[in-house]
Amino acid sequence: MQEQKYILKNQDSFNLKDIFECGQCFRWNIEKDGSYTGVFKGNVINIKKEGNNIIFNGVCEGKIQDVVEDYFDLKRDYKKIKSKLSKIDSNMEKSIKYGEGIRILNQDLWETIISFIISANNNIPRIKGIIERLSKKYGKKIIWGNKEYYAFPTAKELKNVTVEEYRKLGLGFRDVRLYETTQMILNKQVDLEKLQKEEDTQKVRQELLKLSGVGPKVADCILLFSTLKRFEVFPIDVWVRRVMNDLYIKNENENKVSKNEILSLANKKYGNLAGIAQQYLFYWRREA
DNA sequence: ACTCAGGTATTAC
DNA sequence: GTAATACCTGAG
């Protein structure tokens, strides 16, 4: 594969830190010069911001411009989304100001499913470590420059991996879930290609929930952060629960707030943009 | 030693 | 349906 380069000029709503550290992805790492390098599908790309230019550099399976336009959701008008959401209330406005450079990535469905199964009751450094070891052991090697990178393993590549091997990689109790889900996807108990085409979000959600290790929160993350691209879902994790309770519900014990109360509030306030609203709120509450 | 972290599965009302 | 509890692991 040959190295390619692409320069994007004057792109609005595009900050590296906001995109890669808002919690949607696990395989992008910051370099000493402030650029980020990541692996997705068979691509390795480094991204650097210089003035008004965003410079993409790396090895790609296709034309780098196409790859990047798709992955970074460049065709979508985030300015419009943000101005719409900003009008809802001052909290939303503040959170958007903080994370104005967020874009929701179009991540591979399979990879997103497995990654978020691993994320359950886990912390980010460990999640990233597990995914890295998993890729290094079972994924395809990609060489760029003098360095080796590893693609996220395909379902086929994980077909014969045992629960014990997962345990050795540090998966913990998620080992069985990973094994079972991989089998379910391989034998098409859950057919990812069909899911990708299904229009009814609730039907897609129901299918995802069949997978081992996929509960409501993980299902919503998959719906939002993968190529399924559903902005109407509202993943509720500890941070979202916290921020929604602090701002609006004001229960003395945030753990006592019911999920349905948060969901109906989110739906009322943000409608079919709830997912992206959630992302600004999550990032703001977690980082600011 | 002990708590916590992007929850889920299981069990018991 | 809803509530309580166990669960790998490793960092702080």
Residue A220 and residue A134 share a domain: yes
Residue A178 and residue A125 share a domain: yes
Q: Is the CB of A237 under 7 A from strand B?
A: yes
Residue A261 and residue A220 share a domain: no
Q: How far is the CA of A259 from the C1' of B13 (A)?
A: 21
Whether A203 is covered by a domain: the verdict is yes
Q: How far is the CA of A121 from the C1' of B3 (A)?
A: 13
Residue A268 and residue A219 share a domain: no
Residue A207 and residue A184 share a domain: yes
Q: A174 is in which domain, residue-wise?
A: 109-225
Give the closest nucleotide to A174 (alpha carbon vs C1').
Answer: C8
Whether A11 is covered by a domain: the verdict is yes
Q: How far is the CA of A202 from the C1' of B8 (A)?
A: 20
Closest protein residue to C3 (Cα–C1') = A256
- Chain B: bases < 7 Å from a protein Cβ: 4-9
Q: How far is the CA of A261 from the C1' of B6 (A)?
A: 20
Residue A49 and residue A13 share a domain: yes
Residue A119 and residue A54 share a domain: no
Whether A101 is covered by a domain: the verdict is no
Residue A167 and residue A210 share a domain: yes
Alpha carbon of A232 to those of A113, A185, A225: distances in Å?
Answer: 18, 25, 12
Among A201, A225, A249, which residue terminates a domain? Answer: A225
Whether A92 is covered by a domain: the verdict is no
- Chain C: bases < 7 Å from a protein Cβ: 2-3, 7-11
Instruction: Give the CATH number, domain containing residue A276.
Output: 1.10.1670
HEC readout, A191-203: CHHHHHHCCCHHH
Q: How far is the CA of A199 from the C1' of B2 (A)?
A: 47
Among A53, A76, A99, which residue terminates a domain? Answer: A76
* CB distance under 7 Å to strand C: residues: A 121-123, 125-126, 167, 170-174, 258, 260
Give the closest nucleotide to A168 (alpha carbon vs C1').
Answer: C8
Residue A207 and residue A270 share a domain: no
Q: How far apart are CA A204 and CA A211, in angstroms?
A: 12
Residue A166 and residue A217 share a domain: yes
pLDDT of residue A254: 85
Residue A125 and residue A72 share a domain: no
pLDDT of residue A1: 79
Please give chain A's pLDDT, 288 residues, in tens: 789 999 999 999 999 999 999 999 999 999 999 999 999 999 999 999 999 999 999 999 999 999 999 999 999 999 999 999 999 999 999 999 999 999 999 999 999 999 999 999 999 999 999 999 999 999 999 999 999 999 999 999 999 999 999 999 999 999 999 999 999 999 999 999 999 999 999 999 999 999 999 999 999 999 999 999 999 999 999 899 999 999 999 988 888 888 999 999 999 999 999 999 999 999 999 988
Q: Is the CB of A182 under 7 A from strand B?
A: no
Whether A247 is covered by a domain: the verdict is yes
pLDDT of residue A161: 98
Among A34, A56, A76, which residue terminates a domain? Answer: A76
Q: Is the CB of A242 under 7 A from strand B?
A: no
pLDDT of residue A189: 97
* Number of domain units in chain A: 3
Residue A208 and residue A160 share a domain: yes
What pTM was computed for the model? 0.98
- DSSP for chain A reads --EEEEEEES-SS--HHHHHSSSS-SSEEE-TTS-EEEEETTEEEEEEEETTEEEEEEE-SS-HHHHHHHHTTTTS-HHHHHHHHHTT-HHHHHHHHHTTT-----B-HHHHHHHHHHTTT--HHHHHHHHHHHHHHHSPEEEETTEEEEPPPPTGGGTT--HHHHHHTT-GGGHHHHHHHHHHHHTTSS-HHHHHH---HHHHHHHHHHSTT--HHHHHHHHHHBTT--TT-----HHHHHHHIIIII--SSGGGS-HHHHHHHHHHHHGGGHHHHHHHHHHHHHH-
Whether A217 is covered by a domain: the verdict is yes
Whether A155 is covered by a domain: the verdict is yes
Whether A162 is covered by a domain: the verdict is yes
Instruction: Give the CATH number, domain containing residue A24.
Output: 3.30.310.260
Instruction: Give the CATH number, domain containing residue A192.
Output: 1.10.340.30
